[in-house]
Amino acid sequence: MNEITLREFRFPEDYQAVFTLWQNAGDGLGIGPSDTPEEIYKKLQYAPDLFLLAECDSRIVGTVIGGYDGRRGMIYHLAVEPEFRGQGIGTRLMDEIEARLKAKGCRKAYLLVKQGNSAATMYEKRGWNEMTNVRLFGKNL
């Protein structure tokens, strides 16, 4: 495999390739109203250093988004192009986003895994623990 490099997302030029990658990522990644160009632009006003891409020969092959509100961190949209999976790219993206969250002072982060998504195994191997004593609530504001 050619060299994989990580870099920050650049708006707007990376948007279409990233959106296509998410569309091809499978059921584990839910695309929603927060993924329009306007919403991605808005996210980048807060923490542009927490939206990372993996690149191979100028092709975007992986993504991860982080968030930090001063108390807890969140991780979203970890995805690797199907033919690039199983080569440690997801691990590198997670290593980097976790390191960046920690460097900002984040002591605990959360992420959501859809029922039945075997990617949960990856997180468990990395020391993420499923929180079985809470219920997740959401509300559209």
Ligand X SMILES: CC(C)(COP(=O)(O)OP(=O)(O)OC[C@H]1O[C@@H](n2cnc3c(N)ncnc32)[C@H](O)[C@@H]1OP(=O)(O)O)[C@@H](O)C(=O)NCCC(=O)NCCS
In whole angstroms, the minimum distance from the beta carbon of 82 to ligand X comes to 7
Interface with ligand X includes 79 (CB under 6 A)? Answer: yes
Nearest to 50 by CA among 25, 76, 12: 76
- Please count the other Cβ atoms lying within 10 Å of the Cβ belonging to residue 30: 13
The span of 1-9, 45-53, 101-109, 117-125 binding ligand X (CB under 6 A) equals: 117-125
Interface with ligand X includes 121 (CB under 6 A)? Answer: yes
Degrees, nearest 5: CA angle 59-121-39: 50
What is the residue type of 21? L
Contact pick of 11, 15, 28, 34 for ligand X (by CB under 6 A): 28
CA–CA separation, 41 and 43 (whole Å)? 5
Report yes or no: 29 and 20 within 8 Å, Cβ to Cβ.
no
The span of 6-14, 40-48, 73-81, 132-140 binding ligand X (CB under 6 A) equals: 73-81
In whole angstroms, the minimum distance from the beta carbon of 99 to ligand X comes to 15
In the numeric block, which tokens belong to residue 87? 């080569």
- Cβ proximity to ligand X: between 36 and 121 the closer is 121
Residues that bind ligand X (CB under 6 A): 25-26, 28-29, 78-80, 85-91, 113, 117-119, 121-122, 125
